[in-house]
């Protein structure tokens, strides 16, 4: 049977974009369908990853300046900048990234169509264009990569003026003096530190028991030190009662209780940002027309090749559930493309890192100390506090910890956990050692540039190996006194 395309992709985020790019390398004819009238690139470029990271970078520069040089002309660094300066910085980045996506699609001869895509049958997609026209195309394969969105709050409304979400906050008109963040996921904590770095007094209302429960315990302790330094106040186990304007006091009141305490508490604030749970964009894309199965929360079930329950239809990115990251979505889209075009039986590699772009950053790969112990492994920990590094003192970045989880008998690396400047980049050094199943002596036997943050690996490896070999004064004294 002859089809219009080899592949039709619904959604131009990282999963759809990378699948399109990979498919053109197999000389396949691709149509990329995007529902957004203005932009390609999805949440990745227009509402999530890129704008939040650009704002984070701008805030971190301002914060660093204020930490390093103090007040200039009687003003703190953040008082010398306005929201419009940060938005200008962000817009420049977003515009550039948007143009890069377009340039790559044109260069690789990917056809694009604007409109809402829906599956009609195993090989047909209908596009509802913004002008009201409907058009159908056939394809050998279909990739669903329509992403996710934030679940709306139950007790109040996101009006995008006083109460914002992750999209509308990127167009905030001023830096608020007081801000309440409702939610406690990665995006919520990132924005909490971004605004705190700009001088905003931030209160976080965490609807869960703990913040970032998946972090290694010591890294979380360091993170709480950073939050304290930012003067961010956190309430856990919160149940929101209402968010209302108090005209008399000219402020917004957030009323809440906690699951452990029935007293009503009130925070007066200028601005609220709501970060809801992520939900898959699976509604009305025609899953029922072909019988694609989903889990209880609506995420599409896929196998390790990203194939759905229908052989000609694949799905990748947030629409398939965890981890809900652009980083993973890029690879998932590529793996799906490789498998549908029959070039290989590809799967995602193990050891996925995660990066949290708080100020300071957090990143991790492999087993935490607790997980390794839970698996009954005999482990030794190697630590490097950033204050031990010359790079930290010359760059005025002393808060930080790099922690290695080492298998005691083989001295192989089991996990790396970092909080501190450039943690999200530094993690990939550990990733190489972990993936290649090397011993931590790698960090000692090879010369590392000096001064660098990478040296934290050397310091932590020495710390761990010395502990294993009971080498040094600390252990001699223990042995002598025994
Ligand atoms: C505030 C925030 C910060 C983030 N920061 C990071 C980060 O630092 N690092 C990281 O790795 N990840 C980050 N993420 C997560 C990342 O943005 C997502 O994991 C990623 O964008 C998901 O990619 P995707 O391809 O699945 O879908 P998306 O990027 O969501 O794109 C889906 C696209 O599909 C389109 N679409 C929807 N329905 C249809 C339809 N029926 N027909 C056609 N098109 C349709 C949508 O308009 C959208 O453009 C962040 C997310 C948020 C919200």
Give the contacts of 29 (CB within 8 A, at least 6 positions apart): 5, 6, 7, 111
Cα torsion angle, 65, 67, 69, 71, sign: positive
Taking the centre of ligand 1 as the mean of its atom positions, its distance from the CA of residue 6, in whole angstroms, is 24
Ligand 1 atom index nearest CA of 325: 19
Contact 192, 186 (CB under 8 A): no
Question: Which of 8, 10, 13, 284 to mutate to test ligand 1, by most ligand atoms within 8 A of the CB atom?
Answer: 13
Taking the centre of ligand 1 as the mean of its atom positions, its distance from the CA of residue 411, in whole angstroms, is 39
Going by C-alpha positions, the residue among 57, 78, 53, 65 that lies closest to residue 396 is 65
Question: Which of 41, 49, 90 to mutate to test ligand 1, by most ligand atoms within 8 A of the CB atom?
Answer: 49
Taking the centre of ligand 1 as the mean of its atom positions, its distance from the CA of residue 354, in whole angstroms, is 16
Taking the centre of ligand 1 as the mean of its atom positions, its distance from the CA of residue 276, in whole angstroms, is 15
Please report where in the chains the tokens 């199943």 appear, as a residue.
437
Taking the centre of ligand 1 as the mean of its atom positions, its distance from the CA of residue 100, in whole angstroms, is 17
Contact 364, 427 (CB under 8 A): yes
Question: Which of 9, 11, 101 to mutate to test ligand 1, by most ligand atoms within 8 A of the CB atom?
Answer: 11
Q: Which residues contact ligand 1 via a Cβ below 6 A?
A: 10-16, 33-36, 42-44, 48-49, 52-53, 116-117, 145-148, 166, 187, 281, 285, 317-319, 324-327, 329, 357
Taking the centre of ligand 1 as the mean of its atom positions, its distance from the CA of residue 464, in whole angstroms, is 40
Three-state secondary structure along 418-470?
EECCCHHHHHHHHHHHHHCCCECCHHHHCCCCCCCCCHHHHHHHHHHHHHHHC
pLDDT given for residue 79 in this prediction:
76
Taking the centre of ligand 1 as the mean of its atom positions, its distance from the CA of residue 98, in whole angstroms, is 14
Going by C-alpha positions, the residue among 62, 98, 148 that lies closest to residue 323 is 148
Per-residue pLDDT of the chain (482 residues; tens, 9 = 90+): 899 999 999 999 999 999 999 999 999 999 999 999 999 999 999 988 999 999 999 999 999 888 888 777 777 666 788 899 999 999 999 999 999 999 999 999 999 999 999 999 999 999 999 888 999 999 999 999 999 999 999 889 999 999 999 999 988 888 999 999 999 899 999 999 999 999 999 999 999 999 999 999 999 999 999 999 999 999 999 999 999 988 888 899 999 999 888 899 999 999 999 999 999 999 999 999 999 999 999 999 999 999 999 999 999 999 999 889 999 999 999 999 999 998 776 777 778 899 999 999 999 999 999 999 999 999 999 999 999 999 999 998 889 999 999 999 999 999 999 999 999 999 999 999 999 999 999 999 999 999 999 999 999 999 999 999 888 887 776 666 65
Going by C-alpha positions, the residue among 464, 390, 450, 402 that lies closest to residue 429 is 402
**Closest Cα to atom 19 of ligand 1:** 325
Task: Examine domains 5-149+279-340 and 163-276 and report if their fold is the same.
Answer: yes
Taking the centre of ligand 1 as the mean of its atom positions, its distance from the CA of residue 326, in whole angstroms, is 7
Taking the centre of ligand 1 as the mean of its atom positions, its distance from the CA of residue 41, in whole angstroms, is 8
pLDDT given for residue 480 in this prediction:
65
Taking the centre of ligand 1 as the mean of its atom positions, its distance from the CA of residue 24, in whole angstroms, is 22
Ligand 1 atom index nearest CA of 191: 1
Topology of the domain comprising 360-481: Enolase-like; domain 1 (3.30.390)
pLDDT given for residue 1 in this prediction:
82
Question: Which of 31, 41, 42 to mutate to test ligand 1, by most ligand atoms within 8 A of the CB atom?
Answer: 42
Q: Environment class of residue 328 by beta-carbon count within 10 Å: exposed (0-12), middle (13-18) or buried (19+)? A: buried
Tell me the domain boundaries of the chain: 5-149+279-340, 163-276, 360-481
Ligand 1 atom index nearest CA of 317: 26
Taking the centre of ligand 1 as the mean of its atom positions, its distance from the CA of residue 178, in whole angstroms, is 29
Alpha carbon distance 15, 300 (integer Å) = 14
Taking the centre of ligand 1 as the mean of its atom positions, its distance from the CA of residue 9, in whole angstroms, is 14
Ligand 1 atom index nearest CA of 41: 49
| DSSP one-letter code for 320 | G
Question: Which of 35, 44, 150 to mutate to test ligand 1, by most ligand atoms within 8 A of the CB atom?
Answer: 44
Give the contacts of 261 (CB within 8 A, at least 6 positions apart): none
Taking the centre of ligand 1 as the mean of its atom positions, its distance from the CA of residue 333, in whole angstroms, is 12
Ligand 1 atom index nearest CA of 33: 43
**Closest Cα to atom 2 of ligand 1:** 48
- Which CATH number does the domain 163-276 belong to among 3.50.50.60, 3.90.226.10, 3.40.50.300, 2.40.170.20? 3.50.50.60
CATH of domain 5-149+279-340: 3.50.50.60
Angle subtended at Cα 313 by Cα 307 and Cα 315, rounded to the nearest 5 degrees: 55
Question: Which of 170, 274, 325 to mutate to test ligand 1, by most ligand atoms within 8 A of the CB atom?
Answer: 325
- Given the DSSP bridges, would you call strands 362-366 and 178-182 parallel, antiparallel or unpaired? unpaired
């Amino acid at each position: 049977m002859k089809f219009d395309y080899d592949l039709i992709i619904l959604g131009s985020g990282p999963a759809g974009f990378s699948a399109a790019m990979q498919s053109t390398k197999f000389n396949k004819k691709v149509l990329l369908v995007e529902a957004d009238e203005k932009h390609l690139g999805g949440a990745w470029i227009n509402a999530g990853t890129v704008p939040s990271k650009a704002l984070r970078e701008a805030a971190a520069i301002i914060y660093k300046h204020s930490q390093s040089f103090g007040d200039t002309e009687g003003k703190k660094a953040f008082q010398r900048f306005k929201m419009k300066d940060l938005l200008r910085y962000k817009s420049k980045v977003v515009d550039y990234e948007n143009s890069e996506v377009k340039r790559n699609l044109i260069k690789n001869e990917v056809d694009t169509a604007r409109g809402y895509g829906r599956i009609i049958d195993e090989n047909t997609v209908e596009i509802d264009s913004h002008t009201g026209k409907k058009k159908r195309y056939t394809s050998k394969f279909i990739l669903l990569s329509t992403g996710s969105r934030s679940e709306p709050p139950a007790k109040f409304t996101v009006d995008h003026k006083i109460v914002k979400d992750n999209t509308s906050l990127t167009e905030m008109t001023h830096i608020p003096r007081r801000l309440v963040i409702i939610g406690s996921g990665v995006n919520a904590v990132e924005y909490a530190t971004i605004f705190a770095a700009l001088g905003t007094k931030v209160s976080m209302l965490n609807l869960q028991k703990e913040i970032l429960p998946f972090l290694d315990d010591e890294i979380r302790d360091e993170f709480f030190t950073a939050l304290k330094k930012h003067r961010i106040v956190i309430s856990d186990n919160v149940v929101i009662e209402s968010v209302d304007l108090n005209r008399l006091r000219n402020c917004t009141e957030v009323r809440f209780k906690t699951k452990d305490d029935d007293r009503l508490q009130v925070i007066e604030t200028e601005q609220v940002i709501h970060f809801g749970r992520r939900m898959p964009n699976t509604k009305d894309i025609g899953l029922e027309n072909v019988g694609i199965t989903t889990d209880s929360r609506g995420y599409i079930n896929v196998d390790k090749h990203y194939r759905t329950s229908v052989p000609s239809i694949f799905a990748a990115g947030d629409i398939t559930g965890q981890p809900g990251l652009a980083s993973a979505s890029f690879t998932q889209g590529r793996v799906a493309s490789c498998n549908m075009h029959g070039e290989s039986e590809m799967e995602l590699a193990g050891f996925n890192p995660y990066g949290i772009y708080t100020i300071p950053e957090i990143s991790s790969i492999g087993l935490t100390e607790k997980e390794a112990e839970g698996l009954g492994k005999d482990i030794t920990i190697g630590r490097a506090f950033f204050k031990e590094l010359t790079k930290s003192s010359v760059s005025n970045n002393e808060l930080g910890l790099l922690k290695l989880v080492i298998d005691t008998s083989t001295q192989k690396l089991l996990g790396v956990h970092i909080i501190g400047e450039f943690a999200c980049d530094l993690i990939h050094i550990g990733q190489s050692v972990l993936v290649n199943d090397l011993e931590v002596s790698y960090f000692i036997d090879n010369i590392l540039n000096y001064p660098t943050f990478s040296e934290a690996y050397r310091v932590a490896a020495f710390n761990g190996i010395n502990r294993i070999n009971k080498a040094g004064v600390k252990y001699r004294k223990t042995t002598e006194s025994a």
